[in-house]
Amino acid sequence: MGPASRLARVLIRDGFPGQRLRVLSRPSVVEALAAPVTGRLLVTDAGHFPHAAEHGRSRPRGAAEVVVILCTGGAGRVELRSRRHEVRPGDVLVIPAGEPHRYWADPRDPWTIWWMHVAGSDAETFVTAITGAGAGAGPRTPGAGMGSGGSAGTVADAADAADAADAADVADVVDLGDVADGTDPADPAEAAHASDSAASDSDAAADFSPVVAAHDPYAARASLEHVLVSLERDETVASLRSASGAAWALLAQLSADRARGTQEAGDPILSAQDYLREHLDTTTSVAELAKMAGLSVSHFAARFRKASGMGAVEYHKRLRSARARELLITTEASVADIAHTVGYTDPFYFSRQFRAINGTSPTEYRAAFRGA
């Protein structure tokens, strides 16, 4: 290995181009954790950080909530319980509440992530089922697992503790090691500490694994997107419950994935088709689909075309057209509104795409059907 400079960089928490971010107010958190449904599982924060260069956090006292991060592109690393773990596309990182940790985007290939923080009486149960955490788990922030019968005062104390922890780690710094060749830091003191820790680890602690490979990364992303969209809508009871339901579904699926162990994941092409079918109103590139499937773009494209008889872009276009035909027949919505519903911001471009597939314009299609 050639000479390379070792760098310690200040990490960026947020502020990435194209990011989406929602954080519930503290009063809303206190109220929701004392309410039915959301008291069992509440999403307190959620976001999407695309190509998050220099992103990372260092929390010496952990977070007040369970942290869940899905990587859909690039790579990152996490340090937890004196161990370092790689995070790749399709991986989900689950960090127990109150667990000291630090994580960061790979400096040469920054990750793209969808993430959420969850609290409530079911949160720690899911953490145990997904990561194997239990005996030997790290310290908990006061009030973590807040929905488990805690009073509003206890929840507020936990929020204050989290605020204090945030104030203490304003300058998140991580040693990125030999950046020139992308190797990990090699801290002798840390290595010695890890060696000492290994000697005293219990079997339960050794079973702890915070990084889980999602068997269906498309569904995982869809769940996290549902969470974020719900919080973006407003902070009403309905929206918070919608976010909780999507979060519960994701965590339940991850616990099932862990229970299945190293079983083969579902067919990535079928999963990609399902994802496109469920996301007619969004545009997802072939490169992004390939990353979520853990395949090269060329390999993914070849497998998709073999299975579908067409490329992913054409497949998505035809799904959108089918939904548009349905709406033209069954609703009075304008062509512009239907175009927006199926993911086209320009109704004229939508009309051209519709004609290319159906041989007629949307207006002519509707008139012909109703005149039949």
86 and 156, same domain (yes or no): yes
For the segment 316-320, the average pLDDT, to the nearest whole number, is: 94
- Read off the amino acid at residue 119: A
What integer pLDDT is reported at residue 175 of this predicted model? 52
Return the higher-pLDDT residue of 217 and 241: 241
Of 203, 226, 260, which residue constitutes the final position of a domain?
260
Q: How confident is the model at residue 6 (pLDDT cuts 50, 70, 90)?
A: very low
Q: Do 253 and 106 share a domain, yes or no? A: yes
Pair (106, 240) in one structural domain: yes
Q: Are residues 138 and 243 in the same domain?
A: yes
The whole-angstrom separation of Cα 358 and Cα 329 is 14
Average pLDDT, integer, range 323-337: 92
Contact 218, 275 (CB under 8 A): yes
pLDDT band for position 271 (cuts 50, 70, 90): confident
SS3 175: strand
The H or E element that residue 108 is part of is none
- Residue given tokens 């994935």 in the structure block: 257
Question: Is residue 244 located within the same domain as residue 274?
Answer: no
Pairing of strands 42-49, 20-23: antiparallel
Which string of DSSP letters, residue by residue, matches 49-90? ETT-TTBEEEETT--SSEEEEEEEESBEEEEETTEEEEE-TT
**pLDDT of amino acid 170:** 39
Which CATH number covers residue 144?
2.60.120.280
132 band by pLDDT with thresholds 50, 70 and 90? confident
Q: What is the pLDDT of residue 146?
A: 36
Measured distance CA(271)–CA(119) in Å, rounded: 29
Q: What is the pLDDT of residue 174?
A: 54
85/225 same-domain check: yes
Q: Which domain holds residue 292?
A: 268-371
Q: Do 15 and 137 fall into the same domain?
A: yes
User: Residue ranges of the alpha helices (H) in the chain?
Assistant: 26-33, 123-131, 152-168, 188-200, 203-206, 217-233, 237-260, 268-278, 286-293, 297-308, 312-330, 335-341, 347-358, 362-371
Query: Contact 150/143 with Cβ under 8 angstroms?
Result: yes
Confidence of residue 35 (pLDDT cuts 50, 70, 90): very high
- Mean pLDDT, residues 163-175 taken together: 46
**pTM summary value:** 0.65
Average predicted confidence (pLDDT) for the chain: 81
Same domain for 233 and 274, yes or no, is no
DSSP assignment of 225-288 equals HHHHHHHHH-SSHHHHHHHHHHHHHHHHHHHHHHHHTTPPPPPHHHHHHHHHHH-TTS---HHH
Does residue 1 lie within any of the structural domains? no
At 206, the pLDDT band (50, 70, 90 cuts) reads: low
Angle, CA 157 vertex, CA 208 and CA 151 arms, to 5°? 90
301 plus 332 within the same structural domain: yes
Above 60 in pLDDT, residue 81? yes
Question: Would you say residue 287 has pLDDT above 50?
Answer: yes
Q: Among 276, 220, 253, which residue's Cα sits nearest to residue 72? A: 220
Joined together, the tokens standing for residue 66 give 């369970």
Domain shared by 251 and 283, yes or no: no
Could you tell me if 247 and 276 lie in one domain? no
% of residues, the chain, pLDDT over 90: 61
